[in-house]
Amino acid sequence: MNFFEVQTRKQREVLNITERVEELVRESKLKEGVCLVFVPHATAGVIVNEFEPNITRDYLKFFEKIAPKNAEWEHNAIDDNAEAHLLSAFLGQGKTIPISEGKLVLGTWQRILLCELDGPRNRKVVVQVTGK
C-alpha cells in the first residue's frame, strides 16, 4: 500500500490528484489490474470527473445546494460539520480505476479529484494497485 498527503487550504475545495496517483501506478510496474484511490477521512471524498475552473466552481455550488452549511443538522450540536459528513457519504471516500498497459484507464477529460469538505486539513490519500 502506498499513500501521499495533501494539504488543503480552504473549507471546501476540489484538488486534482491524478498525477500523483499516476506516479504511484508507474512505480508499481503493474501492467494490467486496478487502482484503488481511497481517503480515510469522514469529511473528504473522491470523484472522477472533469477538472477545469468552471466545473470546479460548479462542484462547490452543487455541494452547497445539496448540503448547505447553515441547515439545521443535528450533528452540528456536536461538531458543526454535519454537511461535510453528509457530502462525504454521498460522494464516497474511494474510487477504483482500471489499469491497462501500465496506465490508468480514464476518459479524455476525466481526472481523479480529492474533494475537501471540512478544511483546511492535511489529507491522506491511499493508493493500492493490484493485478499482474
Report d(CA 106, CA 20) in Å as an integer.
Answer: 15
Domain annotation for the chain: domains and CATH numbers: 2-131 (2.60.120.460)
Residue recorded with cell 484538488: 15
Mean pLDDT of 50-66: 97
Closest CA to 104 of 40, 51, 30: 30
The pLDDT confidence band at residue 1, using thresholds 50, 70 and 90, is: confident
Question: Are the CB atoms for 107 and 6 separated by under 8 Å?
Answer: no
pLDDT at 109: 97
Query: By three-state DSSP, how is residue 78 classified?
Result: coil
Percent pLDDT > 90 in the chain is 98
> pTM of the prediction?
0.96
Q: What residues contact 131, with CB distance under 8 A and at least 6 apart?
A: 30, 31, 32, 33, 34, 99
Alpha carbon 38 to chain centroid, angstroms: 7
Helix residue spans in the chain (DSSP H): 18-28, 53-66, 82-91
